[in-house]
Chains A and B, each alone.
Chain A
Amino acid sequence: MTKSMKINLKVWRQRNADAVGNFADYTVDASPDMSFLEMFDVLNEQLIQNGLEPVAFDHDCREGICGMCSMVINGRPHGPKRGVTTCQLHMRSFKDGDTISVEPWRANAFPVVKDLSVNRSAFDRIISAGGFISTNTGNAVDANTILIQKEIADEAFKAATCIGCGACVSACKNASAMLFVGAKVTQLSLLPQGKPEKESRVVAMVNQMDAEGFGACTNTGACFAECPKQIPLSVISTLNREYLSAKLSGK
């Protein structure tokens, strides 16, 4: 059967947004086949049994698609493996006896709710500002009357796979949201359906991004390196190009 492994944890504890936080040390018996979050389930069960408060953390689908889980593990958003969310990270990526630090996303625009949970509603407000195609239900023409070159559809899809987790922001030393915004702008500006609004969209989204307190792009690519969906850096150049062209046309 599976081996047992002893894991030492340093976990960020913070009662609420206004409280001062600190690291707390815990030890957990884990198994290599456990997911990282299942290891946290074991820790929480242990804490409850001992009359202590469990660690609050966000998670939902545990399949790497909802974008809710959000832990900075040993200094890296979603941990050491490339292209993987926290919930899909397994303990086999660690060794018996390892000490692992776990913190919430780090960004002013993502204030801590409690412990490892943060508030990412800034992302919703950016989408609300322009991350859509203005079409009301019932307006649509037959789907196959819009022909889209397969390569374009595939590229738009690639950009559209962003799960809105915010790892890109957390990874960036400026807490920039350019990868997130670039992904949506790229998806919608590539598709013919999105072209009519492409200038107003990019300007509105960038304005909102700035208003939320996200920083400027550093061009270091940490966002791409930590993105669990490997959204390509090219979406940022598309964003810059679209923004510039919108500005030049007076939007």
Chain B
Amino acid sequence: MKLDSKIPKGSISDKWTQYRSSVSLVNPSNKRNLEIIVVGTGLAGASAASSLAELGYKVKAFCFQDSPRRAHSIAAQGGINAAKNYQNDGDSVYRLFYDTIKGGDYRSREANVHRLAEVSTSIIDQCVAQGVPFAREYGGTLSNRSFGGTQVQRTFYAAGQTGQQLLLGAYSGLERQVGLGNIKMYARHEMVEVVKIDGKAQGIIARNLITGELERHFGHAVLLCTGGYGNVFYLSTNAMGSNVTAAWKAHKAGAFFGNPCFTQIHPTCIPVSGHYQSKLTLMSESLRNDGRIWVPKIKDDTRNPNTIPEEERDYYLERRYPAFGNLVPRDIASRAAKERCDAGFGVGPSKMAVYLDFKHNLMYKYGQSEASKLGISNPDDDTLTRLGKAVVKEKYGNLFDMYKQITDEDPYEIPMRIYPAVHYTMGGLWVDYDLMTTVPGMYALGEANFSDHGANRLGASALMQGLADGYFVIPYTIGSYLSKEIHTKPISTDHEAFVAAEKFAADRISMLMEIQGTRSVESYHRELGLIMWNKCGMARNEQGLKEAIEEIKELRANFYKNVRIPGSINEFNPELDKAGRVADFLELGELMCVDALEREESCGGHFREEHQTEDGEALRNDDTHMYVSAWEHKENCQWELNKEALNYENIKIQQRSYK
């Protein structure tokens, strides 16, 4: 199949403007007759649902949590980027576009990324209008900070809980439309099958997680806003319920999966503490504004970090990347931490951690500045610490509290210990410029699609993309499809396609329940996670990937013989919900390894040990791999590779350097 990305003609800065002026519209009276299904209520889903409902479409929204407000966007910490240039530091739409393409190691689509940079500024306006309480300066204007991979301050934030504030804003918009009767909300519902009629997505089968019943829902279009699939690694910073199921069902129904192996391993997470560990907790990238990362220069140094003198510390990011220092992009910071720990310089009980130290900036940046404001000359160390602590508390207080809760150590007193962990997936369902998948009528928004971040996402760009897709892209692009669907009458859910899809889902659930083996779902998930982390994680090689593929196949076969799901189908049964999700992860994991094996190069978060420069940096293979891998599912976990060539017409391709 030839992929058509439907990129509009024209110069990069005119494409979106021209598209918006020429795309087909649906008139208001027709909108009322068109029904749209939105699966997932995170930033992308909630913003899409409310914006489409405001336009007059009839929307049905679904989430598996007990309330749409709990979607995992809520946990995003550090901030959201926008090319506002409020700091007068040289930011522009082009610069945000350039940083994002370069940050993604030249594996994303120019036209989509430019559009993202263009609409970024409207997102901030929209959120402020909704009452999102962003951090402000004393003059009443909005405050900004820096994130990795950029040299300007373009990140807007609300302490360390920006995602929460943005999501609650989008959620309030969604609930407003629920109250007005324009959105029907289905919480504790999980999409378990796509319904296709004449090749088009025309509905879904959803499972009511409280009663276990399967329900049929018709829609003229289906929007998947279901987030990423980082939980394939078992341990990640994702929420426990985050899953790939909806996207995977879409994939098996014909939607191609783009760049599945592109996974973001975030450098600053709280290290694993024990075998019972259920998830990992992120410490926001914003901390790298003020925290310096280091390890001791001596191996196995067990001294209290505060007693290790300056000259015996290796600030390895500042040493290796003087231009960006502690603010190099995530993939680079993660690999550098792994390199130091693998070489034996790691700290803490497991030796798989590095220090993130605030003392220097707390005292000399903030403490000193506060002392000057108060007119204290020659402040002593205690005064500097006291004054600096108050400033740091205001900026990052909730993160410091969270760290202390988990580790029982006070990061104001002793450096944090951090290590990389799975955080985000750049890969996702392949979409064209309209955000439509290869199944007509089915769209993917936010983290669920592959489109904007290439092989590595820059910090504070996930929130930007989720809201861009939902507030400012889909309301326009959906018109190009729905304007042709205005004659399609709502299809009865008694249609044979609905009956068949429901039966397919019901049979699968019964089959899982009937296995009644001896192993818990959780144990399979853990084992899969370990395979993925060891062989398809921060570093990958041919042999490991080939082994992983075989191991996953074996584990999957074992799962279908020996999994034990307690309880019954027609009741609230979280173990059964989890079993369905793990079954899908057991297939996705294989595809990720297949993709990683095929991609004979290193780029962004995808590091193939066979392809590296002399100093251990990722070595791309632009001659042979300048494309998006779009995998088409054939029968029984066999895939065929389709390639979308990437053309860089506006940005000069370079070996990425942050030195």
Contacts and interface: CB of A to CB of B under 8 A. Distances in A.
B593 interface: no
Interface in A127-148: 127-144, 146-148
B136 A54 contact: no
Contacts of A124: 67-69, 175, 178, 185, 187
A117 B282 CA distance: 26
Residue from A61, A121, A124, A141 whose CB has the most chain B CB atoms within 10 Å? A61
Contacts of B131: 132-133, 156, 187-188, 191, 193-194
A218 interface: no
Residue from A54, A60, A129 whose CB has the most chain B CB atoms within 10 Å? A60
Interface string B121-158: 01011111111011111111110000000000000001
Residue from A35, A149, A191 whose CB has the most chain B CB atoms within 10 Å? A35
Contact of A120 (B66, B185, B523): B66
B370 to A, nearest CB: 16
Contacts of A2: 274
Contacts of A161: 161, 164
A68 B136 contact: no
B70 interface: yes
A42 B278 CA distance: 10
B630 interface: no
Interface string B109-126: 000000000000010111
B133 A60 contact: no
Contacts of A148: 136, 140
Interface residues of A, number: 80
Contacts of A65: 74-75, 161, 164
B58 to A, nearest CB: 17
Contacts of A194: 131
B137 A121 contact: no
A147 B140 contact: yes
Interface in B166-199: 168, 171-173, 175-176, 178-179, 185, 187
A132 B173 contact: yes
B86 interface: yes
Contacts of B279: 62
Contacts, number: 213
B14 interface: no
A183 B550 CA distance: 53
Contact of A62 (B70, B125, B179, B239): B239
Nearest to A189: B131
A37 B136 contact: no
Nearest to A92: B408
Contacts of B141: 144, 147
Interface stretch (A5-13, A44-52, A96-104, A234-242): A44-52
A47 B279 CA distance: 21
Contacts of B70: 60-61, 66-68
A41 B176 contact: no
Interface string B229-248: 00000000001110000000
B138 A150 contact: yes
Given A48-B566, A193-B129, A68 B65 contact: yes
Interface in A58-77: 58-68
A164 B129 contact: no
A36 B618 CA distance: 41
A56 interface: yes
Interface of chain A: mostly helix, strand, loop or mixed? loop
Given A38-B276, A128-B178, A157 B133 contact: yes
Given A62-B240, A127-B175, A90 B278 contact: no
Contacts of B140: 147-150, 153
A18 B130 CA distance: 40
A135 to B, nearest CB: 5
A129 B179 contact: yes
A66 B72 CA distance: 7
Interface stretch (B256-264, B374-382, B421-429, B570-578): B570-578
A147 B475 CA distance: 29
A140 B210 contact: no
Contacts of B240: 59-62
B351 to A, nearest CB: 14
Nearest to A119: B66
A120 B188 CA distance: 11
Contacts of B522: 41, 45
Contacts of B402: 63-64, 88
Interface in A188-217: 188, 191, 193-194
B1 interface: no
B278 A35 contact: yes
Given A68-B66, A134-B176, A48 B564 contact: yes
Interface of B: 47, 50-51, 54, 65-70, 72, 74-75, 84, 86, 122, 124-131, 133-142, 158-159, 161, 164-165, 168, 171-173, 175-176, 178-179, 185, 187, 210, 239-241, 273-274, 276-279, 281-282, 401-402, 405-406, 408, 471-472, 475, 520, 522-523, 564, 566-567, 571-575
The 8 closest A-B pairs by CB, nearest first: A147-B140, A132-B172, A140-B125, A140-B129, A157-B133, A128-B179, A128-B175, A143-B128
8 contacts: A41-B522, A60-B239, A127-B175, A132-B131, A143-B84, A144-B141, A153-B135, A156-B133
